[in-house]
Chain A
Amino acid sequence: MIRLEKVKKVYDDGFQALKDINLEFKEGEINVLIGPSGCGKTTTMKLLNRLNEPTDGTVYINEKDISQMDPVELRRQTGYVIQHIGLFPHMSIAENVGAVPTLLKWDKDKIDKRVDELLNLVNLDPETYKTRFPSELSGGQQQRIGVIRALAAEPPVILMDEPFSALDPISREQLQDELLRLQKEINKTFVFVTHDIDEALKIADQIILMQGGEVVQKGKPSEVLSNPENDFVVDFIGKHRLEENRNSIPNVDEVMMEKPLTISSSESLTNAYESMKQHGVNSLVVVDRGELKGQVSIFDVIDVGVYENKLVKEVLKPFEQVVEIGTSLKVVLDLMEKNNAANIPVMNNNQFAGMVTRGSVVELLASVYANSQREGA
């Protein structure tokens, strides 16, 4: 995890590019910095590999203050796609892509294999392109090389400054999909700068909207869409996108409670009862190390007797229906209606991810409704 704490940046000429930035980039997430030209996106990004040093404040990576780390080591562990591509014009494409592994002294065969793999990843035939020089590639092809150069040594953190800006819409979509797939597969932390709000909404786990060296709003795309902070955000996102969002049916990820109360199946009924009483709820989800077992409700407990010496696993009721993450809310509402279910668990790869409850549906409706009133005003 990366954390920026009270970071300020004043350039040598006295210009204050960043005013008190506080941010968190979670591991395995795509974090998108977006905002008008000159708002400080590149400045923020360069703090993370110490191409910029903050004037004030601290940057932590996994709770380690990076100003105490060796900048060369730090940069070798941080992939970096610079805004202006910056390929090395005197090196072949293979040498460009293999630049970091070469610095890390991988052996030649391993570098060769990795270069081929990466070129294939971005649809450039290794045999054709490996021996070419950057000037013999189109702008979009150069940009793709810039991207894979940053991925080459599989760094845990990857910084990308407008990496797809020179691509045609189709290649751009392709690379965005590739990025999403990659992130699912390899679980890296991305910090991504773009001007393109559609790109941001598509790929971001967290969107950070900046203006004049400050963070105006940060959050999940759905949060930003359904609850824009102020008129600047509304203008920046564009009314038509907000409108579309309001009319579109969200999927369960946006509706579910991510952390409902859970209990393990080997707990005693007494503990289950105490927990429900303490939190003022009438049921608990039974989960053993991520595996969903069912639920136990207050009525089941009272039926058997609270002080009977019994375990949760003896009274729990399995769920009749579960849905996968990414399911449309419409499907879930249908299920709730048909089965007269108060809640439906959401699964992610056979692991319990969250719960859609009647309460969480109402909450979503409230936020959309509140939002439309704000915009109408």
Chain B
Amino acid sequence: MDVIQKITEIGQYMIENWAHLLSLTFDHILMVLYGMVLAAVVGISLGIVCAKFEKVAPIILSIANIIQIIPSLALLSIIMLYFGLGFTTVVIGLFLYSLLPIIRNTYVGLKEVDGHVSEAGKGIGMTPFQLLYKIQIPLALPFMMAGVRIATVIAVGVASIAPFVGGDGLGREIVSGINSRNETMIYAGAIPAAILAVLADLILGKLEKRQKNKIA
């Protein structure tokens, strides 16, 4: 009885505040999107560097690993010291936090490309650059996309603590809920955030599978 009552209460609240929640969701997505685009560009590039220059691979991967180990709140706070409160700090935090899965997957994906296929490409006279963009990157693409998917799911979660460093997003609703000891508000922020994470996982997973089918 209690549970049903709670659910109706949350539902009612969300309907009443839909415009506000929608705008928070939009903010949330925006932060994740900015962070992801940045992380994909930098992460894939670094992944390629790792695969091409085996010597620097352990260095780059260790640095990305260390960043990943720092607790998210601590990382965001440190960035805030330099970039102040607000959107930029959150985006940089999400970017840094997403690097490891993208670099690692790009690196592994390129290493997994069948050596005979690469040899054939080289053998028919592709330059190293042509080999990379005509053969190796297309074949490693499913791995890279998996990296972006994992990173996105993590980032949707991490973005929820954005309000602590002056950011927006669904975290705002959650934090307000905590401050005012309003359970309904906490749910109203947490549920859309969870749905976002699940959706990101589903959609990106589907794209990744389509890419994989094209190759195998």
User: B55 near A: Cβ within 8 Å?
Assistant: no
The 6 closest A-B pairs by CB, nearest first: A86-B120, A76-B125, A75-B125, A84-B116, A80-B123, A86-B116
The answer for the CA separation of A86 and B126 in the assembled complex, in Å, is: 14
- In the bound complex, residues from chain A placing their C-beta under 8 Å from that of B70 are none
The answer for the CA separation of A279 and B161 in the assembled complex, in Å, is: 101
- In the bound complex, residues from chain B placing their C-beta under 8 Å from that of A72 are 125-127
The answer for the CA separation of A72 and B130 in the assembled complex, in Å, is: 11
Find out whether the CB atom of A135 lies under 8 angstroms from the CB atom of B123: no
Find out whether the CB atom of B116 lies under 8 angstroms from the CB atom of A85: yes
User: B117 near A: Cβ within 8 Å?
Assistant: yes
> Closest approach, in angstroms, between the C-beta of B211 and any C-beta of chain A?
9
Find out whether the CB atom of A89 lies under 8 angstroms from the CB atom of B123: no
Q: Which residues of A contact B (CB under 8 A)?
A: 49, 51, 72-78, 80, 82, 84-90, 99-100, 103, 133, 135, 149-150
13 A-B contacts, Cβ less than 8 Å apart? Answer: A51-B122, A72-B126, A75-B125, A82-B116, A82-B119, A87-B117, A89-B216, A90-B214, A99-B124, A100-B124, A100-B125, A133-B214, A149-B124
- In the bound complex, residues from chain A placing their C-beta under 8 Å from that of B150 are none
> Closest approach, in angstroms, between the C-beta of B208 and any C-beta of chain A?
14
Find out whether the CB atom of A103 lies under 8 angstroms from the CB atom of B125: yes
Count A-B pairs with CB separation below 8 Å: 60
> For residue B128, which residue of chain A has the nearest CB?
A72
**Interface residues of B toward A: which range?**
20 to 34
Given contacts A90-B139, A90-B215, A103-B130, contact A82 B123 (CB under 8 A): yes
A86 partner, pick from B119, B134, B139, B215, beta carbons under 8 A: B119
Known: A72-B125, A78-B125, A103-B126. 20 other contacts (CB 8 A): A51-B119, A72-B126, A77-B125, A82-B119, A82-B123, A86-B114, A86-B120, A88-B120, A88-B121, A88-B134, A89-B114, A89-B117, A89-B139, A89-B216, A100-B124, A100-B125, A103-B124, A103-B125, A135-B216, A150-B124
User: B138 near A: Cβ within 8 Å?
Assistant: yes
> Closest approach, in angstroms, between the C-beta of B101 and any C-beta of chain A?
23
Find out whether the CB atom of A90 lies under 8 angstroms from the CB atom of B138: yes
